[in-house]
Every structure is written in C-alpha cells, then in structure tokens.
Amino acid sequence: MPLTGTGAIVTPAAEATRGVGAFNVIQLEHAQAIVVGAEAAGSPVVLQLSENAVRYHGALAPIASAVLATARTSAVPVAVHLDHATSPELVAEAVGLGFTSVMFDASALPYEENVRATAAVVERCHAAGVWVEAELGEVGGKDGVHAPGARTDPAEAAAFVASTGVDALAVAVGTSHAMLTRDAVLDFGLIAELRRTVPVPLVLHGSSGVADEHLTHAVEHGMTKVNIATHLNQVFTGAVRRTLRDHPELVDTRRYLGPGRTAMAAEVTRLLRVLKAPTA
C-alpha cells in the first residue's frame, strides 16, 4: 500500500472519535514490528522518528530510508512522522526525504516566540504538502524528568492554532515522557474542554505512562493521535533479556532481536485495540 498522508489517517479518526497509534522507531526491527502489529489489527498507524533517534544514528537519511521503505510495503495505511524536531533544518530534510508529517517542538520557548517559529515552519511545510504538529504547554519528562503538573490552557491553545495554522496540537494534560510505570493521572475534563475549543486533532505525548483503560478514556474524551515509545521499548527489551537469559550461548543478533520484534508487534496490535483505532 502506498505511503499515506498523516492527515488522511488522523483527521477521519478525530471525526469518528477513534485513536491513532503513533509509535516510535529507533531501529529497523521497531519499524517492522509496528507494521506487522498494525497489519494484524487491520488498522492504520504512524511510524515516528524522533530527533533523539536521528542523533543516535548520526544522520536522518539512512534510518529514514529504511522506515519509509518499510511503510511502503505495508498492507495497511502507514504514515511516517518526524517527532520532536527542534531544528527547522531537520524538518526541511525530513520533508525532502518524503516524510508525511513533522512535529516541530518550540514549546520550550516563550509563547510569542513559539508562535513565530512554528508559523514559519508551517508555511514551508504546507507549501510542500506536509502536515504539521506542534506542542503547547510543554509535556514534561524529557530525559526522564517527570513534570506531570504542566497543563495546556484551552483558550491559549485555540489562539495558537489560529496564529500558526498547525494541523494538530500536542497538549499537556497530565502525561510525562519516558515513564516506566503506567500510573500517570490524566485530566479528562481538560481533554474534553480542549477538544471543544481547539479546531484540530489533539495529540497525547508521554502515553507510555498511561494505563490501558485511561488511554481508552482519553480517546473517548477527545484525544486522537496517541504517541507511545518507552512502553514498547520495555516490551522489546524484556523479550530480548528473556531470550538471552534462556540461551546465553547466542551470538547471532537475529536470534534475540527477532523475539523482541515479535513481542513488540503483538503489543502494537493490542494497543491499537485499546485505542479504538479505525480499521483500514
């Protein structure tokens, strides 16, 4: 199936009060697992490469080429998204490579500077037909530092969308990046108010820290694109650890990365059902 625009997946899901799984890729096995899991669920999915993952690989193009190729071989619609990019130059490179969307993160800047920087990126991306996500009300937890007290103001969010022209907005409603436990407390009333106030789909970052039932409730209250990374890394790594514990003689990386990929694929399928993902 051809690579699919992110908006073509997320916008109909928002209209139908469904969730879209947006899962982060660090290596090729991750991308493969996510696509296999989405195919098993019969649901579209978003493959995400973060600025941190690009830094790990030393360059965007090699891992992006692998992820884009994996997306193009899928039996379900797959979008490819640049996550948490703080550099307009990295955004431009992703657009040139064929990414279907980008998340430009200027949330650490003062509000007016965030608006100016984001609007400039949106103008360039829209000229290339690329969908843009931004963040307002900085979601905590970068580098493992949890800051669940951050909250996005609905009126400010609506003004931000009007001023920048973004296609989706990541909001702070109680989640935190890089959580290893699933006990984040979401503000469902705020999610519902944001959904009523903000005219574009809402994005939940830091979703690895949210229990299954609360992920479902978040979608029912108005979240659409749900980003999950750390939780899937835990599943993958756990399977690798068990395999190496049971078979300490292994040296062929395929023999232990393969079980990690299989476990992650199964968890992707399960999570897409938790999110009430649309069928492809």
User: Which long-range contacts link 185-193 to residues 24+ away (Cβ below 8 Å)?
Assistant: 185/148, 186/210, 186/214, 186/217, 186/218, 187/151, 188/217, 188/218, 188/221, 190/151, 190/152, 190/154, 191/218, 191/221, 191/222, 191/223, 192/221, 192/222, 193/154
Q: Average of pLDDT values for 116-129?
A: 97
Query: What are the strands, taking DSSP E only, across 20-167?
Result: 20-24, 45-50, 78-85, 101-104, 131-136
Name the catalytic one among 83, 105, 167, 187. 83
6-274 homologous superfamily:
Aldolase class I (3.20.20.70)
pLDDT tens-digit series, residues 143-186:
433 355 678 889 999 999 999 999 999 998 876 665 556 656 68
pLDDT-derived band of residue 255, with 50, 70 and 90 as boundaries? very high
Q: Is the pTM of this model over 0.75?
A: yes
pLDDT tens-digit series, residues 46-76:
999 999 999 999 999 999 999 999 999 999 9
Average pLDDT, the chain: 92
pLDDT at 144: 35
pLDDT at 247: 97
pLDDT tens-digit series, residues 181-200:
665 668 899 999 999 999 99
pLDDT-derived band of residue 210, with 50, 70 and 90 as boundaries? confident
pLDDT at 186: 83
Annotation marks residue 83 as catalytic: yes
pLDDT at 110: 87
pLDDT-derived band of residue 136, with 50, 70 and 90 as boundaries? confident
| Percent residues over pLDDT 70 in the chain | 91
Which of residues 143 and 235 earns the better pLDDT score?
Answer: 235
Which of residues 104 and 280 earns the better pLDDT score?
Answer: 104
pLDDT at 148: 55
Q: Residue 84: name the closest of 142, 17, 163, 39 by CA.
A: 142
pLDDT at 141: 44
Going from N- to C-terminal start, the domains of the chain cover 6-274
